[in-house]
Amino acid sequence: MTPAADHTELLALRDALRDFAEARDWGQFHTPKNLAMALIGEAAEVVEHFQWRTAEESARLPDPDCAEVALELADVLLYLVRLADVLDIDLADAARRKLAINEARYPAEKAHGRADKYTRL
């Protein structure tokens, strides 16, 4: 998918979430604080699927578990998109800017095969 198509998909998702919330009069509850708290709660539900698994087991989730993780990841994405909308942040643009920052912080020739923070490269 091209960056423009990705951005269009993200905008369509944002608009669908906005409509969903408006139809239920949930805007009153969708404060940045509440959405951020819900986002971290959903992220914790993703982590639960990996908590007692080895690294190898986590890379080979059984299909039913993988399906559950997919839905939890969707919850994380939905809250993230909604939070960005409420804060009037262009999430695709912010992600592209952050990727450029990370490319500068972690040049491939220094970071290749290393998990060190950029300040230690």
pLDDT score at 98: 97
| Domain membership flag for residue 103 | yes
Q: Is 119 among the domain residues?
A: no
Residue 64 lies in a domain: yes
Residue 9: alpha-carbon gap to chain centroid:
14
Residue range 8-43, pLDDT digits in tens: 999 999 999 999 999 999 999 999 999 999 999 999
pTM, two decimal places: 0.88
Quick: pLDDT tens for 58-115.
999 999 999 999 999 999 999 999 999 999 999 999 999 999 999 999 999 999 999 9
Q: Is the pLDDT of residue 1 over 70?
A: no
The SS3 call for residue 114 is coil
- CA atoms of 42 and 78, how far apart (whole Å): 10
Asked whether residue 121 is assigned to any structural domain, the reply reads no
In a domain, 120, yes or no: no
Q: How many domains are there within the chain?
A: 1
